[in-house]
Amino acid sequence: MVRHRARTPANLVVIAAITAVSFQVSALADPAASPTESQSPMRVVPIDLNASVAHDTPLPTQPGKPASIGGTEVSFAKGEQFKAGIWDGTRGFVSVNGYPVDEVWHVLKGSITFTNTAGEAQTFKQGETFVVPKGFKGTAEMHEDFRKLFVSYASAE
C-alpha cells in the first residue's frame, strides 16, 4: 500500500514556487558536471514549519515606529539566488526601500499590511499566500507576532 502525505496549502506553496523557478535554478548548475558514484543522490528537503528561529535582526523602520525584530531559518539554498525557509518576527513596522528578491510568502501566523509608495494598502493574514516582487517600495506592518514560509529567487541582473 502506498501512503501519500496530505497536501496542505503550505506544501502546495512550496511545490508551486519550486516548480515556477526550477528552470531558473537549473541554470545555476554546472552543465559540464555529471554525477559520479561518489556523489550522494539528491534528496527532497523538508521545511520544518515549527522550527525555532532566533529573533536577532532588527529591521529598518521609520522614526517613532516600533521596529520588528526577526530571524530566518533557511532550510534550502541554491547559491545566493534561490532560498526557502521560515522567517519569524515580532510585531512592528518595516520600511521597505526596494525588496531585494522576488519572494513567495505563505503566512503561517499573524497578519501583515503592505502599503506601497502610492498609499495602496494590502493586508494578508494566516493561511494566505502572495508574492512580494523584487523592487517593491513602501512599508510593511506586522500587526502581531508574525511567521511566514518563504521561497525566494534573486535574479542575477
Write out pLDDT tens, residues 108-152: 999 999 999 999 999 999 999 999 999 999 999 999 999 999 999
Burial class (CB in 10 A: 0-12, 13-18, 19+), 152: buried
CATH fold of 55-157: Jelly Rolls (2.60.120)
Instruction: Decide which of 55 and 130 is more confident.
Output: 130
pLDDT in tens, 3-29: 444 445 555 444 444 444 443 344 444
Q: What angle do CA 66, 90, 127 make, to 5 degrees?
A: 125
Percent of the chain with pLDDT over 70: 74
Q: Is the pTM of this model over 0.75?
A: no
The SS3 assignment for 129 reads strand
